[in-house]
Structures are given as C-alpha cells and as structure tokens.
Amino acid sequence: MMSALPMIPLAVGANRVVRGVRVEHVCGDPGLSTELDRALSHRIIEAAIRAIQTPVDGPTEFIPADTAADKEAASVS
C-alpha cells in the first residue's frame, strides 16, 4: 500500500507500506518542475518494487531514497 499517512495502514496491520508525498498526490508533487516530479515518482515506485520483493514478518514501512533532487526541491521551497 502507498500512503502519505503511513501510520494508519501500519496501525491496521498492512504488511508493506510505501511512504508517499501528499494525500492528494501520493506518487508525486505537482508543485515541482516536471523533471523533479518525475524523479520523485520514480523513487516512490522503486520503493514499492523493493517492498514487494522484500520478505517481511509484519507491518513494515518502506521510505523512498533521498537524492540530490530532494535537496534541490527543499532549497527552492
């Protein structure tokens, strides 16, 4: 499951939760440039693929990897 509020699915026992960005835009941020939004979407999807491939014993949160794009976006905001 992808969620911008991962504590909710984790609390109800979802085995794999991928942290998203915002409730209305889980897999991206329309406030970013096209290139930064695409890079963010790719990282979230890569985290989801990693989550599917990883054996887990219980509720586990997967957080997309940080990159230079995150730092650049943070400095713009």
Q: What local confidence, expressed as pLDDT, does residue 68 receive? A: 46
The pTM for the full model equals: 0.79
Task: Tell me, rounded to whole angstroms, the distance of Cα 47 from its chain centroid.
Answer: 7
3-state SS, 29-71, equals CCCCCHHHHHHHHHHHHHHHHHHHHCCCCCCEEECCCCCHHHH
| Residue ranges making up the domain that contains 28 | 2-76
Query: How many domains does the chain divide into?
Result: 1
Whole-Å CA distances, 43 to 4, 11, 13: 14, 24, 24
Note the pLDDT tens digit of each residue in 26-51. Answer: 998 989 999 999 999 999 999 999 99
